Structure 1
């Protein structure tokens, strides 16, 4: 029996053995599997098939790097069930088949058997994903003709851009058979420096920094800029971490993922007592890695994934825990973290790939100001025409008569400004995110 068939059988018996777990919904089927993308490097995927063959296939890529799509994206954002295993009214499975992939290797239920099995750059991430997609579309041949979209969030957007470019090449060569229809970059780490350099101005105009704080944050951001300009990318990542600390200390713990909320006290970088401050400045990257990755691995979510979900799946190796290698994923990518991929987006647009950028109004870590800066530097020939367009308002599906977003499109490029949303748009504004998905995939709304 093949591995794919094995996972399907285990799914059936898993439900018999663990029938306390609710179904993902009427008409929705699930399958999952592992793919060995390099010797000793295993990636996990989980597919929810929609009940209509006319709906597209969407692959969701989480951020971090080290955040799990099978966990956070699935149960906190767009999957059919929420963290309490209750049906989600705004699940994307209503409008698409959804494929969650735990990438890079070591993320979520993905794992490496060897210390050198982690990816250290997005080129390796893309190479690994192409192996997985080749496997997936071969085993799931019914999806080869279905419009296939890649949606992403945060660092997942950086990975998605590079993966999309490599996928277009693979399709041309015939090594991957699929109907690639576009990529959507949500609150994405496409140009890290543009994000860091706009933190100060964004916080200042929203009354979260005073003049002294603005000066402190600007100084910290300039240090990051110098390192990036000198192509000292590992140093730039370390200085990014320091800059985040400076922001926290000058805003009394603003939440980088939604400026209208405050960072929980146990995750906040304190300026006192003195020992905490010294630790923060001596090991800034370690502390920031833990803070950002742990956000995607809350205790309750970890208990769900390593408990009933692990039992349901039935194929997770005994020595693998969900999220157990997440910090190593981030630390191994630290030298690549601050590298921009704006040129990759340009190549995608020039190749005719449909590209959508979407961003939350209340996001800080990837603020909209920074996104607009790199978009305005694109060399794509359609940019002058795109810039001349006025945006169009969209009603909030959850609040008729209220504006939920603005958007504009020109040829194969679009931008959505999502109001009242932070970094994780589907969890902050689920109805609006679902409507955006339908618009991008050209469904009636």
Structure 2
């Protein structure tokens, strides 16, 4: 399942610069060989005293020369033979994929040494220790973490205009990024590419997947162009004239459609016992009459306010967590310096958004909340998701020694690393992703849509509704799934399939596309960021799906 082509001979590939022929693994997958660019290899990380579990590479790809927009990437090669490359995009918009690297499914676990973070002490870089993550997604695939758009994480622009962006420009830049990255790391083309992400990544992922798919279709039709006609950059070079080995995509707790996502929140709140029947009924009646437009001061927005007031200050990202979102913080939130807000996030808010500054709490970044979320003073407070401790990452990624090790820009170049950006001026332009999913599955791609069942922000109820609404035939009916070797139910899943007519099947990137398959799966008890709260289950889910055993 994991295969960045780069290898597990990682133990001693000091000469990473030379291209290596790709050996076949015993299971038919590709054993990792080494990408062409040794200058971008990460050879050691502060706080980690062992050899890295696999080869790591990082650096920048310039995607727009005029504005000087540069996207930062961190490439983790598979720890075992695999032919899969996951391109990971965290949501926001404006939230760093390096946060997922640090706290969700990266190869290392970040923590403070015992006693280093006690009240009254100011931790330093030497107080942070890194250890192997037994549930890293690099156990089963190579993972490419991308900070997108520019202004997110370590990615930056030379001009202020580079931070004024929208969904279209973001995908334009990502298309250029993929083309130019594959020019540098040519062996990546041999891997099966899956675009993956969570939250607002539910918009980025299908849009980018569609863009890459259409690139392949143009190549099959004899066109040599790349990029959209409205793109902000052009992906020149041989990489842009070759098809991508795009196999499918993965989205978790994914923002998809304003109305469906908002209705899902209302149904979830009632089903989870957070509101009573009258509140549930009144909210649906009001919002259906106003097309689920939840802008501030609108009838539906006011109804959602009343519903969330009835819910109380629960942690919207994980209703089972002991931390809460009110003005008073739990011990965990206080220790994290977490921003807390009484207003819950709702996906439909993005529909009413004009250009917004992606600032305040992570919640605000996720959906451009219709009114400013609360938050303390200072960057640390303003960029911490409620009830989440990001102190280790903030200290680690703003240390000059770490930035040098991972080839990230200096503070003067790229600014402070934050979990979510406070410099973006972002306009939401994409609309519903439901037609996009229908198109991608019809094209023969595989899709995994997963949801943690303890998330209110983008709940499984909404995702389940739109998945079933696609009208696909269930090829494997609803069933419980468990981690290998366990009888404990980890969640539930259903698989849908759309068989294409014989004449519509096409050979793309060297393999015959036949039936598109979409799998919807839940992870029992997991929150908005499934790999963070249920790491073992998330890895098992990914492995089972890649092996077509889910």
TM-score class normalised by the smaller sequence:
0.7 to 0.9
Deviation per CA, 1:246-275, whole angstroms, max 9, x where unpaired? 55432221211112134243544359xxxx
Rate the CA distance shift 1:292–1:159 in 2: closer, same or farther, 3 A: farther
Q: CA deviation at 1:62?
A: 0.6
The correspondence for 1:256, drawn from 302, 316, 325, is: 316
Rate the CA distance shift 1:423–1:241 in 2: closer, same or farther, 3 A: farther
The correspondence for 2:185, drawn from 103, 118, 140, is: 140
Decide whether the 8 Å contact of 1:146 with 1:178 is kept in 2: no
What is the rounded CA distance, in whole Å, between the counterparts of 1:417 and 1:324 in structure 2?
26
Rate the CA distance shift 1:239–1:406 in 2: closer, same or farther, 3 A: same
- The answer on 1:342 being equivalent to 2:434 is yes
- 2:249 maps to what in 1? 183
What is the rounded CA distance, in whole Å, between the counterparts of 2:542 and 2:155 in structure 1?
27
Question: Secondary structure of the residue that 1:82 maps to in structure 2?
Answer: strand
- The answer on 1:149 being equivalent to 2:194 is yes
Give the alignment's Cα RMSD to 1 decimal: 3.3
The correspondence for 1:66, drawn from 91, 94, 98, is: 94
Question: Secondary structure of the residue that 2:110 maps to in structure 1?
Answer: coil
- 2:104 maps to what in 1? 77
Q: CA deviation at 1:80?
A: 0.7
- The answer on 1:416 being equivalent to 2:515 is no
Rate the CA distance shift 1:126–1:243 in 2: closer, same or farther, 3 A: farther
- 1:299 maps to what in 2? 391
Q: Any unmatched runs of 5+ in structure 1?
A: 229-234, 272-279
Question: Secondary structure of the residue that 1:359 maps to in structure 2?
Answer: strand
Question: Secondary structure of the residue that 2:454 maps to in structure 1?
Answer: coil
- 1:98 maps to what in 2? 143
1:223-234 superposed matches below 5 A: 225-227=291-293
Question: Secondary structure of the residue that 1:209 maps to in structure 2?
Answer: coil
Deviation per CA, 1:49-77, whole angstroms, max 9, x where unpaired? 1244434111111111111112x110100
Q: Any unmatched runs of 5+ in structure 2?
A: 1-16, 18-35, 112-129, 220-239, 330-338, 344-363, 498-516
What is the rounded CA distance, in whole Å, between the counterparts of 2:62 and 2:302 in structure 1?
37
Decide whether the 8 Å contact of 1:193 with 1:224 is kept in 2: no
Deviation per CA, 1:399-418, whole angstroms, max 9, x where unpaired? 82210122222332111121
Rate the CA distance shift 1:223–1:313 in 2: closer, same or farther, 3 A: farther
Comparing 403-412 and 142-151, the one that deviates more: 403-412
- 2:463 maps to what in 1? 371
Question: Secondary structure of the residue that 2:210 maps to in structure 1?
Answer: helix
Rate the CA distance shift 1:248–1:185 in 2: closer, same or farther, 3 A: same
Rate the CA distance shift 1:127–1:254 in 2: closer, same or farther, 3 A: same
Decide whether the 8 Å contact of 1:36 with 1:43 is kept in 2: yes
1:20-39 superposed matches below 5 A: 20-23=47-50, 25-26=52-53, 28-38=54-64, 39=66
The correspondence for 1:312, drawn from 405, 428, 433, is: 405
Question: Secondary structure of the residue that 2:152 maps to in structure 1?
Answer: coil
The correspondence for 2:84, drawn from 56, 76, 81, is: 56
Rate the CA distance shift 1:371–1:224 in 2: closer, same or farther, 3 A: farther
Using the size of structure 2 for normalisation, the TM-score is: 0.67
Equivalent residues, number: 411
Decide whether the 8 Å contact of 1:107 with 1:326 is kept in 2: yes
Q: CA deviation at 1:139?
A: 0.9
What is the rounded CA distance, in whole Å, between the counterparts of 1:225 and 1:297 in structure 2?
37
Rate the CA distance shift 1:191–1:302 in 2: closer, same or farther, 3 A: same
The correspondence for 2:259, drawn from 186, 189, 193, is: 193
Q: CA deviation at 1:115?
A: 2.5
Q: CA deviation at 1:127?
A: 1.1
- The answer on 1:287 being equivalent to 2:380 is no
- 1:88 maps to what in 2? 133
Q: CA deviation at 1:98?
A: 0.9
What is the rounded CA distance, in whole Å, between the counterparts of 2:187 and 2:248 in structure 1?
19
Q: CA deviation at 1:193?
A: 2.1
Rate the CA distance shift 1:443–1:205 in 2: closer, same or farther, 3 A: closer
Deviation per CA, 1:332-371, whole angstroms, max 9, x where unpaired? 13x437x311111111112111122111111111111111
Decide whether the 8 Å contact of 2:293 with 2:301 is kept in 1: no
- 1:361 maps to what in 2? 453
Q: CA deviation at 1:299?
A: 3.0
Deviation per CA, 1:169-206, whole angstroms, max 9, x where unpaired? 12333425431111011110011321212322221222
Decide whether the 8 Å contact of 2:107 with 2:133 is kept in 1: yes
1:272-283 superposed matches below 5 A: none
- 1:326 maps to what in 2? 421
Higher relative contact order (CA 8 A, sep 6+): 1
What is the rounded CA distance, in whole Å, between the counterparts of 1:343 and 1:89 in structure 2?
37
